[in-house]
Amino acid sequence: MKCLILAAGKGSRLRRRAESKPLLALAGVPLIERAIRSAREAGADRFVVVTGHRAQAVQDFLRGLSARLSVPIEAVPNPDWEHSENGRSVLAARTRLDDGEPFLLLMADHLVEPALIGDLLSAGAPPDGVTLAVDGDLANPLVDPDDVTRVRRDGERIVAIGKGLAAYDGFDTGVFLCTPALFDALERAGEDGESSLSAAVRRLAAEGRARAVEVRGRFWCDVDDEAALARAEQALFDRLRGKTADGPVARWLNRPLSIRLSRWLVRTSVTPNQVSLFSFALSLLAAGLFFLPGWAALAAAGVLALDGCDGEIARLKFRQSDYGGWLDAVLDRYADAFLLFGLTWHAWRETAWDGALVVGFLAIIGSFLLSYTADKYDGRMRARGGARFRLGRDVRVFVILVGALLDQALAVLWLTALVMNAETLRRLLVCRDV
């Protein structure tokens, strides 16, 4: 699937942030890269980007991005970008796209989740027409009602589109699935002195060739000014809170703290794997402190055992990978073993009770079995479509923290051994075939 991205505008309202709006970094990733990565994740495999303002800088960036992603990205200049609207940018790419096949059309300054693009692709485009992703949530807090393009529909058919519509039932997300008929509509609009994309869509709508697909609830945001930029950044971090694998401690304690740290880290060159390794190093240090006598070392170890924010950085910077997730999981298992063994040693030495070694062994076994059964348990619960109780590493590490602060190493081991093994048995019962 080919994808056309319009990136010719000057973005004067964000000029203080960046000389080139497509290259403006949001949570560590330029807007144009976010658009390309989202479309690529949704299925696009070839990109045409229309440039204008600061064209050479954008082209140089795209050349490097193409090499990094191993995907063809062609930059096409729009020589008339200063004196016309975005429809001229679409026409500038006509020779690259006018082959009879449908293509995606996105805006470089719109944040769009891949699932929204997927909804559009599933709907398809009408013969010789266009399909527009329309958000019917008129209370969407990410939308500036005074600046957004409005849409009025009759069922799936678009009957009117424009910024000045008095009666409307949706917002234009800036995500289209087009056929080459769009180019002819743009030419006809140009003959009437109009050069906007909306003008061409109005002509197709009048002919019954403009369709709308509802994307209410999907994430998208038009980054036009400082206020929109702030909303977009906040929305990106807010979306991190909805990770389905989070347990209660991760959701209500770890995530708010780690998001604060991630806000800073995404602006650096630190990679998710480096964060994973650093978190593991802290766990090793914590385990070492458990071997020291006294409450101070125990309490310090409990604080250092808290988990990192590698997954957040990976999602924000499009750095997710199977290897990264696997590396993080392996390091977490090693960290659990070292932490619980260190805690076992501390409890054994403080109590002089050999039974502490057995309790510690059971805690380690329960910890590993809980992690081992997590994937199968989550998969079965998703397949059944019901809510699932989630007890994972976040609870385990939090219990270690609280127990360390209260100087109750042996009690932590007892609680971990009982709860982790009991939860593993519960999963076996819940997931059994009936």
Domain definitions of the chain by residue range: 2-233, 243-430
| pLDDT category of residue 389 using cuts at 50, 70 and 90 | low
Does the structure show a pLDDT above 70 at 90? yes
| pLDDT category of residue 429 using cuts at 50, 70 and 90 | confident
Question: Is the distance from CB of 163 to CB of 147 less than 8 angstroms?
Answer: yes
For residues 218-244, average pLDDT: 85
| pLDDT category of residue 22 using cuts at 50, 70 and 90 | very high
- 111: part of which helix (H) or strand (E)? strand 110-112
Choose the weakest-confidence range: 83-92, 287-296, 322-331, 333-342. 322-331
> How much is the mean pLDDT over the chain?
88
| pLDDT category of residue 364 using cuts at 50, 70 and 90 | very high
64: CB partners within 8 A, 6+ apart = none
Same CATH fold assignment for domains 2-233 and 243-430:
no
Of 122, 252, 253, residue with least CA distance to 175: 122
Record the pTM: 0.79
Angle value at C-alpha 321, between 320 and 325, nearest 5 degrees = 90
**pLDDT: is 315 or 18 the higher one?**
18
Does the structure show a pLDDT above 80 at 197? yes
| pLDDT category of residue 267 using cuts at 50, 70 and 90 | confident
For residues 376-394, average pLDDT: 72
Encode pLDDT of 123-140 as tens digits.
Answer: 998 889 999 999 999 999
Burial class (CB in 10 A: 0-12, 13-18, 19+), 48: buried
| pLDDT category of residue 161 using cuts at 50, 70 and 90 | very high
pLDDT at 434: 47
For residues 50-60, average pLDDT: 96
Range from 157-166, 233-242, 370-379 that averages highest in pLDDT: 157-166
Does the structure show a pLDDT above 90 at 311? no
Does the structure show a pLDDT above 50 at 36? yes
Burial class (CB in 10 A: 0-12, 13-18, 19+), 70: exposed
Rg (CA), the chain: 27
pLDDT at 83: 85
For residues 400-406, average pLDDT: 87
pLDDT at 249: 57
pLDDT at 258: 66
Does the structure show a pLDDT above 70 at 269? yes
What does the block give as tokens for 78?
């729009």
**Distance from C-alpha of 256 to C-alpha of 254, rounded to nearest angstrom:** 6
**Distance from C-alpha of 78 to C-alpha of 186, rounded to nearest angstrom:** 15
**pLDDT: is 133 or 324 the higher one?**
133
Q: Decide: helix, strand or coil at residue 134.
A: strand
Does the structure show a pLDDT above 60 at 240? yes
pLDDT at 306: 64
Topology given in CATH for the domain delimited by 2-233 = Spore Coat Polysaccharide Biosynthesis Protein SpsA; Chain A (3.90.550)
Does the structure show a pLDDT above 60 at 263? yes
pLDDT at 252: 59
Task: Return the percentage of the chain with pLDDT > 90, whole number.
Answer: 60
Of 54, 25, 14, residue with least CA distance to 266: 25
For residues 222-242, average pLDDT: 86
Does the structure show a pLDDT above 50 at 314? yes
Residue type, 311: G
CATH code of the domain occupying 243-430: 1.20.120.1760
- Please state whether beta strands 220-222 and 2-7 pair in parallel, antiparallel, or not at all (unpaired): unpaired
- Angle at which helices 322-351 and 409-430 cross, to 10°: 130
